[in-house]
Amino acid sequence: MLTIYHNAQCSKSNGVCQLLQQEKIPATIVEYLETPPTAAELKHLLQLLGMKASELIRKNEVLFIEQFEGKALSEEDYLQAMIQYPILIERPIVVNNGKAIIARPPEKVLSFI
């Protein structure tokens, strides 16, 4: 089963959901702002993505700029920032068969599945 870590306020995330709906591909939607991932879940997603926490964080997000920009952050600091402020997690994350991608642009999901 396909899983999407989704932010309903994100056009790219909404685009992925619309594409899957058009193709009649079922997916589990995780509204990660309402149900933030735990540290273990986020570490697992990073492993599936083959990314570091510093690569998954949205550095252009106003919250990141105001609170973290210019600071010397460790990977654990980035991880904790995303746990505390899930809005900082890049999206949408799509998980399928033990692999994950950031589906940007949304059409990327079609070649992934």
Residue with tokens 């252009």: 60
Asked about 17 being catalytic, the answer comes back as: no
Instruction: From the candidates 2, 3, 4, 10, give the one annotated as an active-site residue.
Output: 10
Question: Tokens at residue 93, please?
Answer: 């994350």
Please give the structure tokens belonging to residue 35: 């149900």
Rounded CA separation 81/5 (Å): 17
Angstrom distance (rounded) from CA 15 to CA 81: 26
Active site amino acids: 10
